[in-house]
Structure 1
């Protein structure tokens, strides 16, 4: 019988224990707040959307108003907070992409909110 060589830092028992715990997981799923199984891809998509939301709000915090009546930051923040996470992804990406140019953020604000 061939000898089993042990790794100096990881024992064979550790590897067996890890592989048995992984095989008991079955399909890749996580629990959601509704106690239903949620696919890992859904969790990753939500995490990316949340990260985009944080990035867009950070971009808006650094916006410098172009005058006393410039409410660009407040209007766009309201949309970011009120739109559903998935539905607001396009707006949030536009905010991040336009953050280096205040004029583009103002145009974006006017596109989303033009009071009559």
Structure 2
């Protein structure tokens, strides 16, 4: 991989991580209004642990496969797992808060689509 492609990929990952971080911190007061500090601290802790655990994980993935591009796959996998975890958590919170809407649908009766 040449330096230009590497720089472009790192830039794209940085933009994606920035958007992801903003989205997560936006959701904290919405979904956890009583625990903003605790949840914000947990998110910050997980981010800090990423800087500690990810570099060795990148090295192990590259040593295991022999491909330097495995760094990007590890980041993709971690991002996909985090997205799924956040999605499931938000769905559970919405179901708890809106139990009365469980059997309601957006379109009722003879209203047109």
Q: Normalized against structure 1, the TM-score is what? A: 0.38
Larger Rg: 1
Structure richer in strand, relative to its length:
1
Higher relative CO (Cα under 8 Å, sequence separation at least 6) belongs to 1
Q: Normalized against structure 2, the TM-score is what? A: 0.39
